[in-house]
């Protein structure tokens, strides 16, 4: 089993290049991030080359965070901004050899928002295809992100079917999906062909995966038994020093 450190949550007290080195030292097999745009891509790529780690993915910008934006792709009237954010994310992903881009939907609802989201995703998928990049969409739970357009896997599958382009995949975050839908084992079995990346955190506190209502050793074994071999994304909140939260990782590495 391989694991990716999500540097949007882990080692946030360090610069992104330094966090990449810390992830390598801790034993992670890959990294991913949220919004790396303030760091020159050449610096990130250098750290990736020095450590031998792959950058699995990054997010499109959220928009104007001070005004409450949390993504743009499903917002009627803001398609030019959404497409610019996609262009920027794909260019950065190409520069650091990232495998995927998560296109953030934003706070919206209704048929008009869904129509805009589908068209924006078609644009993103077409732009990404020539670079071999996967576009991801991720349902977020309604407790942490009330009003976010995409909140369930059924909704995500409907949108993916409407877009109809092969390089659009589901970001399956166990934390969000357990809170909204539960039944993680069966959902993973059913959805695995549509999944482009899997993330995890404890439920309900979004801490490391060594406590809470989800048995992650069981989930990790199930994923491995199903033949999924890509690194799983550790996207959880650590209290204090990140390294002190990594007992679960050291245990998994000892298990082999």
Active site residue 235: yes
Q: How far apart are CA 62 and CA 234, in angstroms?
A: 21
Q: Find all residues with CB under 8 Å of 81, minimum gap 6, and list them.
A: 63, 72
Picking from 72, 81, 195, the residue whose alpha carbon sits closest to that of residue 134 is 195
Provide the 10 A C-beta neighbour count for residue 197. Answer: 23
Strand partners, 71: 105
- Which residue among the candidates 50, 88, 119, 235 is catalytic per the annotation? 235
111 to 74, 104, 118, 146, 159: CA distances (angstroms): 10, 17, 11, 18, 11
Q: Are 214 and 203 contacting, i.e. CB atoms less than 8 angstroms apart?
A: yes
Q: How far apart are CA 206 and CA 187, in angstroms?
A: 20
Q: What are phi and psi of 99, to 5 degrees?
A: -80, -25
- Which residue among the candidates 115, 138, 181, 213 is catalytic per the annotation? 138
* DSSP letters for 75-113: -TT-HHHHHHHHHHHHHHHHHHT-SEEE--B-B--SHHH
Q: Which two tokens stand for residue 222?
A: 């199930």
Q: Are 172 and 199 contacting, i.e. CB atoms less than 8 angstroms apart?
A: yes
Q: Are 129 and 167 contacting, i.e. CB atoms less than 8 angstroms apart?
A: yes
Determine the longest span between alpha carbons in the chain, in angstroms. Answer: 52
Query: Which positions are annotated as active-site residues?
Result: 138, 235
């Amino acid at each position: 089993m391989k694991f990716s450190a999500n540097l949007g949550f882990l080692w946030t007290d360090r610069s992104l290049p330094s966090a990449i080195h810390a992830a390598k030292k801790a034993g992670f097999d890959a990294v991913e991030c949220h919004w790396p745009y303030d760091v020159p891509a050449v610096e990130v790529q250098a750290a990736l080359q020095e450590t031998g780690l792959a950058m699995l993915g990054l997010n499109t910008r959220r928009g104007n965070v001070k005004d409450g934006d949390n993504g743009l792709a499903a917002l009627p009237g803001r398609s030019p901004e959404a497409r610019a954010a996609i262009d920027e994310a794909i260019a950065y992903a190409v520069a650091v050899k990232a495998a995927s881009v998560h296109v953030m939907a934003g706070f919206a609802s209704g048929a008009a928002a869904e129509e805009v989201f589908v068209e924006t995703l078609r644009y993103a998928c077409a732009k990404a295809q020539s670079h071999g990049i996967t576009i991801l969409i991720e349902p977020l739970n309604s407790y942490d992100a009330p009003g976010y357009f995409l909140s369930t896997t059924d909704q995500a599958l409907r949108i993916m079917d409407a877009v109809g382009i092969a390089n659009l995949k589901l970001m399956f975050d166990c934390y969000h999906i357990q809170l909204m839908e539960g039944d993680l084992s069966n959902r993973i079995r059913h959805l695995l062909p549509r999944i482009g990346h899997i993330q995890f955190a404890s439920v309900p506190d979004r801490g490391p995966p060594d406590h809470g209502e989800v048995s992650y050793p069981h989930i990790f074994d199930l994923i491995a038994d199903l033949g999924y071999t890509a690194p799983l994304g550790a996207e959880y909140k650590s209290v204090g020093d990140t390294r002190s939260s990594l007992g679960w990782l050291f245990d998994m590495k000892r298990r082999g």
